[in-house]
Structure formats: structure tokens, C-alpha cells
């Protein structure tokens, strides 16, 4: 009695309809192109078959027919009279069994049905789909968030590392979500960030790594202050008011320099807002960080004086040819100009790009003394250089003299003078002898 085949018995054939349906679903849910997945899966299937069958070359290919709902593997073979390589060649007699019109030299494709092809194909497809989904998701995340570098994004703190204090912030953009890293150094000092908090962060950088894109965010970056003002001040967003420079010590104080080409617009007033609402919103987001808003100027003296706000300034003297300047302030304004632990002066220097030397009005004479001391030091240095140059010149002359003496076989200047005197004496004696000889010749003739 013949054995009945169970209905649920597994077949060696791959269910093409289910295969294509699964790829369609992945494309809809994950946004991974179907063509990309088919290419990766067919490449993996061919590689798997070649790995298990030595001698197979590039003549194996997969035909995935979505309309017919089939996935088949074929091998191309050339029809020959004498078969030398069974993997790439087929005899004419064998070929004509399936294709009567076949001739020697033709290339035919023959379907191959390896054992457990359905199982192998399913496993391969699963592995490739998982890898493809991972790569595609990484690529989508990288492309999406790279375009958002140096922008402000809203995020939710999902984890705080108990050892390092590093925070993981989940941020979103254009429907894509990714986990970003905010190190302790990028967190505002004194701000107690907890899991579940919603925070505005500045996307500093998106890096490619072997594990996928790495997103780095910050709440201490000066760019966050700029983006917050763009959010609160329409005149900055539309370009009527420009932020020319920002200096920040996160959690404590920031200075921003603003400017407008429109004479009818007060850039400082636009940033402050009615009753201070605009700047107060920024301050609240930065956990009460103090913000000084000053007007930018192309005149360095005017810009530096404004940057030292809230201190009053008597004069600013830029030093020509350098990025240094001297600032004179009233005696009672010196501590205010310098600030606690030098913070006000430090931020002003960052904002303007100038090295600022601040003195009280009563101490202005110290600059004259410093200039006099500097002039003396410069003169002394010039004399020192002149002495060194003279010493070098004397050493060079002495070296030249020794070289000349050595060329004539002499060891010292005195020896050279003695030899010269001897030569001169010999020349004088020879001249005298010649004169006597000439005088003697007429006498002999007589």
C-alpha cells in the first residue's frame, strides 16, 4: 500500500508568492527598495550554491519572476561534442533531450534544483533581509541626520550612564528616530538631566562607524544659543537681524553680538522682545544662564567697549598690526569689567577676537612705564643682537684669515708679516744691485 504524503510535508521548492509578499511588506514598512533586496538575496543564493559545489563559475544565476511568483536557479552551459568540464559544458545529445533544436556552440540554460533549495533560499533570504534592513536603516539615519548637523532638535533622555554620566537622547527628524550621545562635557553644568526629560539639543556631528551612525549632541555649544534666538526672534529667522558672534560659558553666562542692515530696526530690542519675553524664554531653556546682548560694530574700539557691558568704558586703544587692545575704565568699574574670576573680560575677548588689557583710570600711567620698559628691553635686545652679529663677523674674518694663511703654508699673522718683510728686503736688495750694475756699465764702455 502506497504511503500517503502528509499535507504539511516540507517541499524543496521555495514558495515564490510568499517570498515576494515578504519583500513587498518590508518595502512598505521599512522603506527598503524591493530591487535592492532582490539583488542582495540573489547574490547570496548564488554564493551559497557555489560554496557547496566546487567547480562552479559565474555561469550560475537566479531568475526571480514576480509576475509568475517563482524563484529558480539556472546554470549556463555551452553545447560541445566532447565534454571537458561538466560544470560549464554539455554534450549535444544531452542538450537535445530537452531542446531538440540545439546545435554545437549554442549556450543553453538548465534549471538546477539543489537539494533543500527551498530551505537554503529561505535561510539565505532571511539573513540578507536582516543585514539589508540594518544597512538600509543605517544609511537612512545617516542621510537624514547629516542634513540636520548644526541644527537644534527636540529629544527625550532615554538613559543616563551611572558611571560616566553620559546621556542617551532619542531625537527625531522627518519621521526617522535615532539615539544620540551627550557626554558630560556637553551637558550644562548644574543641570540635572533625568531619564524621560524632554530637552532641546544641538546636533554637533554625525559620524559613520562600523556599528552604524554615531550622533553627537550638545547643550553647551554656542550654536544652541543661536538656534534658540532664531526660534524666539522672527527678525533673526528672516535675516533682518544677524548674530555676528557668540561667546559662551555654558550654565553661567553668554554674550551675543547682533547687527541689522536696516537702520529702522533695533537689533538689541528685537532680541529682548516686549517686556523681555524673547530673551527670557531663551534664558529659561538654558536654566537661567545670563545673556548679554550687545550691538556689533565694524569699529574695533566701539565693538570692544560694547563687549565689556555692563561695565562703562572710558577709552579703547587698539594696537596697530595686532589683535591686542588697551581698555581704560573708571576705577569703580574695574572689577565689573573684569568680572568674577575674569569671566566678563574672557567672554569679551572670545566675542571680539581681541586680547584685552584692562586698567583702571588711576593706573593708566602703568602703560607708560610698561612702554618705557619694553622700549629699553627692545634697545637692549638690539644691542645684544648687534654684539652677536659683530662677534660673528669677527669670527668669520678670523676664519678667512686662517684659511688664507693655510693656503700659503703659514701658521700666524706674525709669520706672514715676517715673510712679507723678508720678501720686501730681498726685492730692495735686488733693485739696488740692478742699479749698481747699470751704473757700472758706462764706466766700462769708456
pLDDT digits (tens, 9 = 90+) for 262-307: 999 999 999 999 999 999 999 999 989 999 999 999 999 999 999 9
What pLDDT is attached to residue 140? Answer: 82
The Cα–Cα gap between 157 and 365 comes to 56
In CATH, which superfamily holds the domain spanning 297-363? K homology (KH) domain (3.30.300.20)
pLDDT tops 70 at residue 60: yes
Confidence band for 123, pLDDT divided at 50, 70 and 90 = confident
pLDDT at 58 over 50: yes
Residues 399-408 have a mean pLDDT of: 72
Query: What band does 245 get if pLDDT is binned at 50, 70 and 90?
Result: very high
Q: Do domains 147-220 and 231-296 have the same CATH topology?
A: no
- Which of the 8 DSSP states describes residue 148? T
Arithmetic mean of pLDDT, 97-117: 79
Q: What mean pLDDT is predicted for residues 296-321?
A: 93
- Over residues 4-45, the pLDDT tens digits come to 444 444 444 556 787 788 888 877 877 777 887 788 778 877
Residue 98 vs residues 102, 103, 115: alpha-carbon distances, Å: 9, 12, 21
Query: Phi first, then psi: what are they for 278, rounded to 5°?
Result: -65, -50
Cβ distance 247 to 269 under 8 Å?
A: no
Checking if the pLDDT of 353 tops 90, the result is yes
| Per-residue model confidence as pLDDT tens digits over 164-200 | 999 999 999 888 889 999 999 999 988 888 999 999 9
* Cell numbers 566701539: residue: 302
Give the residue, 405 or 62, on which the prediction is more confident: 62
**What are the sequence ranges of the domains in the chain?**
16-137, 147-220, 231-296, 297-363, 377-421
Q: Which three cell numbers stand for residue 107?
A: 549556450
Percent of the chain with pLDDT over 70: 89
**What pLDDT score was predicted for residue 395?**
82
Q: All 3 cell numbers of residue 216?
A: 553627537
Closest listed residue to residue 296, CA positions, set 266, 261, 258:
258
In the chain, pLDDT over 90 holds for what percent of residues?
Answer: 43
Instruction: Please tell me the predicted confidence (pLDDT) of residue 300.
Output: 94
pLDDT at 308 over 50: yes
Beta bridge partners of 201: 153
> Does residue 207 sit in helix, strand or coil?
strand
Q: What is the pLDDT of residue 108?
A: 86
Which has more confidence, 358 or 84? 358
Q: What is the domain class of 147-220 according to CATH?
A: mainly beta
Helix axis angle, 16-30 to 34-52, nearest 10°: 130
- Correct CATH for 231-296 of 2.40.50.140, 1.10.287.3240, 3.30.300.20, 1.10.10.10: 3.30.300.20
In this predicted structure, what is the pLDDT of residue 3?
Answer: 44
The pLDDT value recorded for residue 423 is 74
Whose CA is closest to 225, among 311, 316, 173, 293?
Answer: 293
Residue 292: partners with Cβ closer than 8 Å, 6 or more residues away: 253, 254, 255, 256, 309, 310, 347
Check whether 444 has a pLDDT greater than 70: no
Mean pLDDT of the region 140-156: 92
Give the domain 16-137 fold: N Utilization Substance Protein A; Chain:P; domain 4 (3.30.1480)
Residue 137 pLDDT = 80
**Confidence class for position 413, pLDDT limits 50, 70, 90:** low
* Mean pLDDT on 337-366: 92
Q: Which of 151, 197, 210, 205 is nearest to 180 (CA)?
A: 205
- pLDDT (0 to 100) of residue 43: 80
What is the chain's mean pLDDT, rounded?
84
- Ramachandran sector of residue 268 (left: φ over 0; alpha: ψ -120 to 50; beta: rest): alpha
Amino acid at each position: 500500500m502506497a504511503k500517503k504524503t502528509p499535507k504539511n510535508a516540507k517541499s524543496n521548492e521555495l514558495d515564490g508568492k510568499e517570498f515576494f509578499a515578504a519583500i513587498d511588506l518590508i518595502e512598505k514598512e521599512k522603506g527598503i527598495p524591493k530591487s535592492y533586496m532582490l539583488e542582495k538575496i540573489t547574490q547570496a543564493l548564488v554564493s551559497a550554491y557555489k560554496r557547496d559545489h566546487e567547480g562552479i563559475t559565474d555561469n550560475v544565476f537566479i531568475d526571480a519572476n514576480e509576475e509568475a511568483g517563482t524563484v529558480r536557479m539556472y546554470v549556463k552551459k555551452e553545447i560541445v561534442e566532447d565534454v571537458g568540464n561538466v560544470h560549464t559544458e554539455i554534450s549535444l545529445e544531452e542538450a537535445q533531450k530537452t531542446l531538440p533544436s540545439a546545435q554545437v556552440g549554442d549556450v543553453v540554460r538548465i534549471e538546477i534544483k539543489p537539494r533543500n533549495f527551498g530551505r537554503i533560499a529561505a535561510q539565505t533570504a532571511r539573513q540578507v533581509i536582516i543585514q539589508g534592513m540594518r544597512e538600509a536603516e543605517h544609511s537612512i539615519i545617516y542621510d537624514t541626520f547629516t542634513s540636520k548637523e548644526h541644527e537644534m532638535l527636540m529629544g527625550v533622555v532615554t538613559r543616563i550612564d551611572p558611571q560616566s554620566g553620559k546621556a542617551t537622547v532619542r531625537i527625531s527628524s522627518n519621521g526617522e528616530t535615532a539615539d544620540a550621545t551627550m557626554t558630560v562635557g556637553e551637558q550644562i553644568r548644574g543641570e540635572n538631566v533625568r531619564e524621560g526629560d524632554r530637552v532641546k539639543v544641538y546636533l554637533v556631528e554625525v559620524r559613520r562607524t562600523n556599528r552604524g551612525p554615531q550622533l553627537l549632541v550638545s547643550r553647551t555649544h554656542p550654536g544652541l544659543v543661536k538656534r534658540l534666538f532664531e526660534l524666539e526672534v522672527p527678525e533673526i529667522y528672516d535675516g533682518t537681524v544677524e548674530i555676528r558672534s557668540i561667546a559662551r560659558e555654558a550654565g553661567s553666562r553668554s554674550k551675543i553680538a547682533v547687527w541689522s542692515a536696516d537702520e529702522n530696526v533695533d537689533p538689541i530690542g528685537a532680541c529682548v522682545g516686549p517686556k523681555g519675553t524673547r530673551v527670557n524664554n531663551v534664558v529659561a531653556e538654558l536654566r537661567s544662564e545670563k545673556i548679554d546682548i550687545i550691538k556689533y560694530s565694524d569699529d574695533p574700539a566701539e565693538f570692544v567697549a560694547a563687549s565689556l557691558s555692563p561695565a562703562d568704558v572710558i577709552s579703547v586703544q587698539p594696537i596697530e598690526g595686532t589683535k591686542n587692545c588697551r581698555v581704560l575704565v573708571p576705577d569703580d568699574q574695574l572689577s565689573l569689567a573684569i568680572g568674577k574670576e575674569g569671566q566678563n573680560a574672557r567672554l569679551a575677548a572670545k566675542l571680539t577676537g581681541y586680547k584685552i588689557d584692562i586698567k583702571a583710570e588711576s593706573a593708566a600711567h602703568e602703560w607708560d612705564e610698561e612702554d618705557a620698559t619694553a622700549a629699553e628691553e627692545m634697545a637692549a635686545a638690539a644691542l645684544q643682537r648687534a654684539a652677536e652679529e659683530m662677534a660673528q663677523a669677527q669670527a668669520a674674518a678670523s676664519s678667512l684669515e686662517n684659511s688664507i694663511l693655510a693656503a700659503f703654508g703659514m701658521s700666524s699673522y706674525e709669520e706672514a708679516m715676517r715673510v712679507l718683510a723678508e720678501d720686501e728686503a730681498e726685492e730692495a736688495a735686488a733693485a739696488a744691485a740692478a742699479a749698481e750694475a747699470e751704473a757700472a756699465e758706462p764706466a766700462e764702455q769708456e
